[in-house]
Amino acid sequence: MNKINKLTIASLLTLLLLGCSNKKEDTDPSKIDTSDLTVCCPIGAPAMALYNRLFSDKVEINAPSNVETWFSEGKSDIIFAPTNAGINFINKKNANYKIAATVTFGNFYLASTGNDNDGLDKDDYVVIFQKGNIPDKLFQYIYGNDYNAHYVADNAAAIRCLVSGKDESNNNASVDYVLVAQPGLYRGLEKNKNATLYSNLQSEYKKKTNNEEITQASIFINNDLALDKANAFLDEIESDVKALLADPNTVVDNVFGDIEDVQLSAKLSVGKEDLKASIKDGSMGLGYKKAKENKEAIDKFLTNLSLGNETSEEIYF
């Protein structure tokens, strides 16, 4: 009887220990399954951080105009969005999200069409896309607001201006400079042999702000999402971004080997070769920084570009 009791106690203790070790495994972020998390992200540069789950059913990559709907619905576990837009939805419309990390640090460039050879002057015809949004505000912050600026709807329209040297929306007026974003900058420079890169707006911004970064797009986490799952997701994204930055050729070939360029372009606005090149030279602005540790840069980005006010600690994950 005594022997049986001892055996029972020993078995129970073993089971208990096994149970404890299992529990420990569950809290390890690398063991938590995050594939069921619903993620929304606008097309283009921010979506690059999601390259490992780009074609998952749980991930919606869509036009940037949908960002407002995503925040107001609050259905998604995670939203990738322009930093200013996300923070404004949290502050002004009480969106149930917190900012966790920044993944895009600016991909804006001013290119010359070749029609002007004496540098950017006030009377030069400058084409900018997305009036009132980050590209426009960034240009105004760096160069001032008294330029002969003309606006087009999106980056694709700006690239057409760079290639033709004309503004189709304004009776084919001669264009001198075009502000373009990187998914497409290479294509523009390749098609117009007279076009040149005039300035890197990220570097110009750094010069003007004592080395601050453009915290262009960030990850927002739903407040209802379990903490361990959110952390596991963020860890995954961080290691994915680091892997892509370290060896873009291998990662792009491994992940998108069977994917056609056009299919990739639907999500990222760029084909495989341009993607590799732009990651390699850092022109896509891809990176990963925890938002809480980068609060000062986020605040300066918002206030410098008149995109919002300084943020409170509460909105940080």
Partner 1 sequence: MKQAKRFISNHYTLITLGILFVLAIWSLVSFKDGNGTFLFPSPFDTFKSLGELLKSSYTYKSIGWTLLRTFLGFLISLVLALFLGLIAGNYKNLQTFFKPLIIVFKAVPTAAFVYLFLARNGSRWAPMYIVMLVSFPIIYESIIGGMNSIEDEILDQIKIDCLDPFTPLFKIKLPLTFPFLVIGMTSSFALSIKTEIMAEIITGDTNYGLGAMISAYRNLDPTDLSPIFAIALIAIIIVLIITLIAHLIEIRIKRNIQ
H or E segment at 211?
Answer: none
Of the pair 100, 162, the CB lying nearest partner 1 is at 162
171 sits near partner 1 (criterion: CB under 8 A): no
**Min CB(198)–partner 1 separation in Å:** 19
Of the pair 217, 302, the CB lying nearest partner 1 is at 217
- Who contacts 190 (Cβ-Cβ below 8 Å, separation ≥6)? none
Question: Which residue of 28, 260, 281, 296 would you call a contact of partner 1, by CB under 8 A?
Answer: 260
159 sits near partner 1 (criterion: CB under 8 A): yes
Nearest CA to 52 among 216, 283, 227, 254? 254
184 sits near partner 1 (criterion: CB under 8 A): yes
Helix crossing, 272-280 with 261-268: angle to 10°? 50
H or E segment at 77?
Answer: none
Length of the chain: 317
**Min CB(91)–partner 1 separation in Å:** 22
**Min CB(159)–partner 1 separation in Å:** 5
Of the pair 5, 65, the CB lying nearest partner 1 is at 65
Of the pair 4, 262, the CB lying nearest partner 1 is at 262
Question: Which residue of 120, 157, 197, 243 would you call a contact of partner 1, by CB under 8 A?
Answer: 157
Of the pair 61, 251, the CB lying nearest partner 1 is at 61
- DSSP lists the bridge partners of residue 125 as 148
Q: From CA 279, how far away is CA 296, in angstroms rounded?
A: 26
**Min CB(143)–partner 1 separation in Å:** 24
Q: Are 222 and 77 in contact (CB under 8 A)?
A: yes
Given the rule CB under 8 A, which of 14-22, 213-221, 247-255, 266-274 is the region that contacts partner 1? 266-274
93 sits near partner 1 (criterion: CB under 8 A): no
Question: Which residue of 45, 61, 214, 221 would you call a contact of partner 1, by CB under 8 A?
Answer: 61
Q: Are 84 and 68 in contact (CB under 8 A)?
A: no
**Min CB(158)–partner 1 separation in Å:** 9
Strand, coil or helix: 240: helix
- Who contacts 48 (Cβ-Cβ below 8 Å, separation ≥6)? 103, 244, 268, 275, 279, 284, 286
**Min CB(69)–partner 1 separation in Å:** 5
Structure tokens at 72: 């107001």
48 sits near partner 1 (criterion: CB under 8 A): no
Strand, coil or helix: 288: strand
Q: From CA 96, how far away is CA 87, in angstroms rounded?
A: 11
H or E segment at 116?
Answer: none
Question: Which residue of 21, 30, 65, 210 would you call a contact of partner 1, by CB under 8 A?
Answer: 65
311 sits near partner 1 (criterion: CB under 8 A): no
**Min CB(77)–partner 1 separation in Å:** 15
Block residue for tokens 């707006």: 201
Q: From CA 241, how far away is CA 50, in angstroms rounded?
A: 8
Given the rule CB under 8 A, which of 18-26, 54-62, 210-218, 245-253 is the region that contacts partner 1? 54-62
Q: From CA 76, how far away is CA 50, in angstroms rounded?
A: 15
Residues that bind partner 1 (CB under 8 A): 43, 60-63, 65-66, 69, 73, 156-157, 159-160, 163-164, 183-184, 187-188, 191, 260-263, 265-267, 269-271
